[in-house]
Amino acid sequence: MNSSNPNDVPSTGLNVISFLIPLVGLIVYLTQKDESPNKARAAGKAALWSVGISMVFGIISVMISLAAVGSMM
């Protein structure tokens, strides 16, 4: 996809912030998707990766907790 905005390149700093605070990534994606689609897409993907990894770690921690509680009984 060829963008007319020459500054439409993914920003490492913005991606890191989007990964650490997914709401920021969502806001950047929604506000910049028309003007800077490449930058917005990268921030959105970083936010989605963060949410996905958080869910996986949450499921793993619940499984470990249930195993620990089950071994006490």
37-54 tens-digit pLDDT? 999 999 999 999 999 999
**Widest pairwise Cα distance in the chain:** 64
Task: Determine the residue type at 67.
Answer: A
Instruction: Give the global pTM.
Output: 0.82
- C-alpha span between 71 and 15 (Å, rounded): 41
> Residue 42: what pLDDT?
97
The CA-based dihedral angle spanning residues 28, 31, 33, 35, taken in that order and rounded to the nearest 10 degrees: -110
> Residue 59: what pLDDT?
98
- Crossing angle (nearest 10°) for helices 12-20 and 22-32: 130
C-alpha torsion sign, points 58, 62, 63, 64: positive
> Residue 3: what pLDDT?
54
Can you give the residue ranges of every domain in the chain? Answer: 12-72
